Amino acid sequence: MSGRVTVSGGAVLLLGVLIFVLRPAELAALLLAAAAHEVGHLAALLLLRGRVRGVAFTVSGPVIRCDVPPRAAARCLAALAGPAAGIGLFWALRARYPLAAELSLLLSGVNLLPVLPLDGGRVLQAALEGLCGARSSLGALEALGFFVPVALMALGLCAVRVGYGLSVVAFGAWLLLLQPESLVNPAGMM
């Protein structure tokens, strides 16, 4: 790994929002879950002999800059390693630190949604490219990148009507805003 770390203004904004919204114990639990997730990706990339160029902290969270493995199966494994590490953290911490365990499980589940830049989107991208080519897969990824966040926002609005907060609406909107960036450069990030 070349050791290059970059921090965007969006990452500072995201951290500021998290500090404002979460209690210190919740923030610590979330940061632990995110770190385990990224370590899972990093370990898989190194085992698959992928070249890691650095880490960028962005508005979408930490992103490993890398040369992704050329084989679709290897890209799927690298993408699934993050959620797998999060699930492992859940099992390791569920008795002693349930808040971190639950946030880790939630982060893993959310990351499996089939939308770029999430891990589920990267798995779907690799699978579709193997089946129908990179150009054809882009249309499906664009459609899912629109419909899944809009469905989440609609579900969130329904939840608001019955007394739940706006978190699902906000997550759907955030995911929708990330789409143009992730479709421009979907490769080279984990």
**pLDDT tens figures, 59-87:** 888 988 888 788 889 999 999 999 999 99
Q: Could you list the residue range(s) of the whole structural domain that residue 80 is in?
A: 4-112
Model pTM above 0.75: yes
Q: Is residue 40 part of a domain?
A: yes
Nearest to residue 44, comparing CAs of 106, 95, 86?
86
pLDDT for 12 equals: 94
In whole angstroms, how large is the CA radius of gyration of the chain? 17
| Spatial distance between the Cα atoms of 107 and 88, rounded to a whole number of angstroms | 12
Q: Is residue 132 part of a domain?
A: no
pLDDT for 143 equals: 85
Burial class (CB in 10 A: 0-12, 13-18, 19+), 50: buried
Domains identified in the chain, total number: 1
Q: Is residue 137 part of a domain?
A: no
Q: Is residue 8 part of a domain?
A: yes
Query: Higher model confidence: residue 91 or residue 147?
Result: 91
Mean of all residue pLDDT scores within the chain: 86
| Spatial distance between the Cα atoms of 185 and 58, rounded to a whole number of angstroms | 14
CB count in 10 Å sphere of residue 95: 8
181 pLDDT above the threshold of 80: no
pLDDT for 139 equals: 78
Q: Is residue 178 part of a domain?
A: no
Q: Is residue 145 part of a domain?
A: no
2 pLDDT above the threshold of 60: no
